[in-house]
Chain A
Amino acid sequence: MQEGKSVRNHRKIRKSSKVMFLFTLPTVVLYTTFFIITMMVGVYYSFTNWNGISKKYKMVGLKNYITVLSDKRFGKAMGFNIIYTILLVAFVVLISLLIAMALNKVTRLSTLFRSVFFIPAVISMVTVGLIWNELFYRAVPFLGQLLGIGWLQTSLLGNPKTAMFAILIVNLWQGCAIPTVLFLAGLQSVPSDLLESAMIDGANSWQRFRSVTIPYLIPVLNMVVITQVKSGLTVFDYIKVMTNGGPGQSTEAIGLLIFRHAINEGKFSRSVAESMILFLIVGIVSAVTLRFTSKKQVGE
């Protein structure tokens, strides 16, 4: 009797584990076929001199990587991405934290503010980029004339010196929506009795913010920094839609450079090498930010 039951249970477990295995199969197969293999194909091509079209190509070892790393255009694109990312992270944190703090202060109309501030997060980057593209040509110069500011009177996108900032403005307009909600949730997680007791102890509002609120915001801050770093290093849609890298090559980010080399300029294998270097950089930067930010949390 006892034995029979255990045999039946065993059979059931074996059957169950078979079903569990089948459960994982579709995802694992798709991921392997279309993600892992694609990546390995990329690694392979990065060691060849294939231009993307010709029938013949040969292995060239590390030549593509050497070319890329000594390429001025790649260096310039990298520089663009680094400056852009630093500015993006700093302003996203600053603006969304300020909005969240203001939202946390007000009671009336707060639902309206919140629903409106979140709208940009649901629209496609293409639509946002295209609309702002027109506004930079038609609305902003008018504002510049009205206020008598010289550099605002022509399109910010048409000037190599200001084009990056124009793209950054658009990115901030859309990109602050989700961080704001996250910071607001962080602010609301601060226990109010802790703030009250700090107030009774005579801490002023800055001291309360620094020693009580900020420690509660650090997990959110970490996340916002990491996601924004990734989005800054891989920025593509806005640039493709608004400047396509121009004027000159002043807004040619790495993502766009890879795209151009591969699709328009027939430097296929070189563009793959570029994307592998981008992968390495994103990986290192993510690891460093993760390290740095988690240390800070412990230090608090």
Chain B
Amino acid sequence: MNKIKSSTLLKTLSYIFLFLGLIIILIPFYLTIITAFKSSQESSLNFFAFPHSLYWDNFLGVFKKANYFMYFKNSAIITVTSVCFILLFIPMCAYGIARNMKEKYYNFIYVYLLAGIFVPFQVIMVPLVKYLSKLGMTNIPGLIIMHITLASSQGVFLLVNYIRTIPRDMEEAAAIDGCTTFKAYYKIVVPLMKPMLATILVMNALWVWNDFQMPLLILNQSPDIWTLPLFQFNFKSQYTYDYNMAFASYLIAMVPVMIVYASAQKYIVSGLTQGAVKS
């Protein structure tokens, strides 16, 4: 009897705790949405109240004063291109390493690539700017190349360990039947790697889309090539007086990711957590 009581008590406490958490997580979203739909007079009357009517001028202001669609396009191009190349190059490299671990070259490049995991971005941040500008690469292609480069350590690590759990039998059988190495990789190994490729896709797509430090260093000098996070950062410093419009800009910037999260939640949660477990 006592035990049952204490277990219901624990359950009730859990619910109270979780609801509290829910409120803490949701309040910033609630305030962002209502403030984005209010005029500044209405907000100054009561910051927390629900808007009387939907006030769209903030959004119009954001679209008019800043070229939101251009920043969206820049972010989209950078994310899609980076992720495509990440999914092309890194699995190939990991496959080569995983199947030839005993050879000196592959063993060396495995350790060589893994070493990058321990280097925080801030270590290369400063020389990177000088180096890229010397190469004339402080532009969108330069940023894409840096994303591919910085994704390689973790990607190779995750994929090499995954490929080693896939038996070689099928590739060997295919090779005896006259299948080329590339075809065996493409037709047999890639389909078997799909779960891990999904993890890599999710992790890197979110990282590239949300990245701030690298665009700040590489792209900040010319507004035409800003990404969405850069746009938000700069927009805020330009329009500090109009915070309703600022909130509208945060809301618009969140919408794409939220749509993706709502439609592929399962993959995103498992992708992000698996990536964290194994790095």
Contact = CB atoms under 8 A, between A and B. Distances in A.
Contact of B182 (A19, A45, A185): A19
A282 B260 CA distance: 34
A20 B272 contact: no
Considering residues B14, B32, B106, which has the most beta carbons from chain A within 10 angstroms of its beta carbon? B14
A279 interface: yes
Interface residues of B, number: 94
A30 B149 contact: yes
Contacts of B192: none
Interface of B: 6, 10-11, 13-15, 17-18, 21-22, 24-29, 31-32, 35, 47-48, 89-90, 92-93, 95-97, 99-100, 105-106, 109, 112-113, 116, 118-131, 145-146, 148-150, 152-153, 156, 175, 180-182, 185, 206, 209-213, 216-217, 228-229, 232-233, 236, 243, 246-247, 250, 253-254, 257-258, 260-261, 265, 268-269, 272-273, 276-277, 279
Interface of A: 12, 15-17, 19-21, 23-24, 26-28, 30-31, 33-35, 37-39, 41-42, 45, 52, 98-99, 101-103, 105-106, 109, 113-128, 130-135, 138-139, 142, 173, 178, 181-182, 185, 205, 223, 227, 230, 233-234, 236-237, 240-241, 254-255, 258-259, 262-263, 268, 271-272, 275-276, 278-279, 282-283, 286
Contacts of B27: 139
Contacts of A35: 116, 119, 124, 149-150
A24 B109 contact: yes
A121 B253 contact: no
B125 A259 contact: yes
B181 A28 contact: no
Contact of B257 (A23, A98, A122): A122
B145 A34 contact: yes
From A17, A31, A113, residue with most partner B Cβ within 10 Å = A31
Given A98-B17, A182-B273, A130 B129 contact: no
Given A131-B32, A254-B122, A282-B120, A236 B213 contact: yes
Contact of A233 (B120, B216, B268): B120
A45 to B, nearest CB: 6
B212 A38 contact: no
B118 A24 contact: no
B25 A41 contact: no
A263 B218 CA distance: 12
B125 A45 contact: no
